[in-house]
Amino acid sequence: MQAWVHFAVILSCFGELSVGDNLRFASYYGEHMVLQKAPEKAVVWGYGITGAEVQISLAGPQNEQVKSVPVLDGIWRVILDPVQVGGPYNLTATQRGSKIVLTDVLFGDVWLCGGQSNMAFTLGQVYNASEELAMATKFPNVRVFQAALEMSSVELTDLAGVEVPWSRPTPEILGGKDFTHFSAVCWLFGRYLYESLKYPIGLVESCWGGTPVEAWSSLRALHSCGLKEPESSDEWDKEWNSTVLWNAMIHPLLNMTIKGAIWYQGEANAQYNQDKYSCTFPAMIDDWRMAFHAGSEGQTAPDFPFGFVQLCTYRKVTQDGFPEIRWHQTADYGFAPNERMKKTFMAVAVDLPDESSPWGSIHPRDKQDVAYRLVLGARAKIRATLSSDTFEICCSKEKKPCTSDSQWIPAPMKEQGSDYVLVSIAKCPLENVAALRYAWSDWPCSFKACPIYSADGVLPAPLFIFNRWPTHS
């Protein structure tokens, strides 16, 4: 009976599909899903009859497109043209008379949420859970998807199971069984992000309590840190130190175009391979970025934003390796981003202890502050991406002030800190950079997504211009 229930859950993701059809979408596509918005292109794939073409059509309020692709070795794959934020859209796959229609598809930003039990901690377990759950249905454009807990000794092409198919938020989905239903940190992150950006957010949860970073890493990432496949007779070591969750719960997602990822993990490595974590964690980030970029045929950025939670507290008296892991989470720099971990952002949580947590002090209930701190970092990275032309330089050999009629060229942002912005002048020799201007256009940035705000992230900076050469008298 359990197998049939599991099978039914997977089929619910596929829209109008009857058992026996060869045509279907991959497991993590479904009605109510969010696909990555422009400028990135969403990747869609699935299964069909080898040798026959599949036609994919997208129809909605702002965009209509039709593409035909062949099925190779039972798999078809389409990269959609860029679609601006919004919806709803219908996404249709057709092959030899078989048709699948996925309705209520939105375009926005897609974020992957990973880690162990503090990421798996549900909204029903947090402080003020009743109030938080009651708000869920007020955010129908924040959509959620959750991979089922599965392990594999080999890299899987598709997910072996789906715990929560793409859904609009409900109290039942967000407040389900402790540690096994949708993540509180993931949901709150998406909700806060939506409140700031005002466009759809898709949240993909793939996490498992009690798991070390090694289980979520590919062999190439582990080998880069000198780790080999486990030879220990210890059952826990054999079970978790062999990429089993990378194989089953991350590798199948690589074709998805994502905006970024957030991560809450490290407790399981406080004693296990602790001395390696300053290598294994950054190596995992690098490897995920490379793999998602390649899997999406370049649509996911090769340096996509990656946020993580620096561990909260555990025990007052006994030292359990948490200070060391917190340090190693930053590649031993003590802060992020840094030279080893570029385009990362960190939410510090040491000031959020919860000694009386019903789930143990290692599982603090204040996930709201954790999520909000992650959002502050994510917004900064998104602003940098959306506002790449917001800065311009005047490239001129003449030593005089530049005007609106001068030659102005984009100066993309390379890096941003709390009190500085670094821009690229690669297209102009340094000696010819005569001026810098900011937000000098009719529509310089998207809603609440300019690069420069006040320290509290509330007030945007006005446009400005700095001339290198003073005005001639």
Residue 472 domain-assigned? Answer: no
Residue 262 domain-assigned? Answer: yes
Q: Which residues of the chain have pLDDT under 70?
A: 1-21, 230-241, 318, 383-388, 418, 446-448, 472-473
Q: Are residues 139 and 97 in the same domain?
A: no
Could you tell me if 190 and 284 are in contact, meaning their C-beta atoms sit under 8 angstroms apart?
no
DSSP 8-state class, residue 242: S
* Residue in this structure with the two tokens 């994510």, named with its chain if needed: 378
Percent of the chain past pLDDT 70, that is, above it, reads 90
Q: How many CB atoms lie within 10 A of CB 342?
A: 15
Residue closest to 457 by CA, chosen among 394, 398, 373:
373
| Separation of CA 112 from chain center | 4
Residue 355 domain-assigned? Answer: yes
The residue among 58, 87, 103 that closes a domain is 103
* Residue in this structure with the two tokens 């490595």, named with its chain if needed: 269
Residue 249 domain-assigned? Answer: yes
Q: Are residues 113 and 162 in the same domain?
A: yes
Q: How many CB atoms lie within 10 A of CB 427?
A: 11
Residue 131 domain-assigned? Answer: yes
Residue 473 domain-assigned? Answer: no
Q: 205: helix, coil or strand?
A: strand
Q: Are residues 282 and 395 in the same domain?
A: no
Q: Are residues 19 and 165 in the same domain?
A: no
Residue closest to 423 by CA, chosen among 434, 433, 435, 411:
411
Q: 100: helix, coil or strand?
A: strand
pLDDT at 444: 81
Could you tell me if 202 and 164 are in contact, meaning their C-beta atoms sit under 8 angstroms apart?
no
Q: Are residues 176 and 54 in the same domain?
A: no
Instruction: Tell me how far apart the alpha carbons of residues 91 and 95 are, in angstroms, rounded to a whole number.
Output: 14
Residue 418 domain-assigned? Answer: yes
Residue 368 domain-assigned? Answer: yes
Q: Are residues 375 and 248 in the same domain?
A: yes
For residue 281, what is the enclosing H or E element? helix 277-295
Q: Are residues 67 and 211 in the same domain?
A: no
The residue among 50, 68, 103 that closes a domain is 103
Q: Are residues 133 and 217 in the same domain?
A: yes
Instruction: Tell me how far apart the alpha carbons of residues 148 and 180 are, in angstroms, rounded to a whole number.
Output: 9
Q: Are residues 379 and 443 in the same domain?
A: no
| pTM listed for this prediction | 0.82
The residue among 361, 385, 409 that closes a domain is 385
- Bridge partners (DSSP) of residue 57 are 66, 92
Contacts of 223 (CB under 8 A, 6+ apart): none
pLDDT at 226: 94
pLDDT at 34: 98
Examine residue 88 and say whether the peptide bond preceding it is cis (omega within 30 degrees of 0). Answer: yes
Report the CATH number that the domain containing residue 47 is assigned in CATH: 2.60.40
pLDDT at 328: 98
**Number of helical H runs and strand E runs in the chain:** 11, 20
Distances (CA, A) of 114 to 68, 97, 108, 186, 356: 34, 39, 20, 9, 26
Structural domain that includes position 88: 2-103
Residue closest to 87 by CA, chosen among 202, 200, 165:
200
* The amino acid at 267: E
Sort strands 24-25 and 306-310 into parallel, antiparallel or unpaired: unpaired
Q: Are residues 278 and 322 in the same domain?
A: yes
Could you tell me if 291 and 254 are in contact, meaning their C-beta atoms sit under 8 angstroms apart?
yes
Q: Are residues 340 and 210 in the same domain?
A: yes
Number of structural domains, the chain?
3
Q: Are residues 91 and 113 in the same domain?
A: no
Residue closest to 464 by CA, chosen among 410, 391, 408, 407:
391
Q: At CB < 8 A and 24+ separation, what contacts does 13-19 make?
A: 13/162, 13/165, 13/166, 14/100, 15/100, 15/101, 15/102, 15/103, 16/99, 16/100, 16/101, 17/100
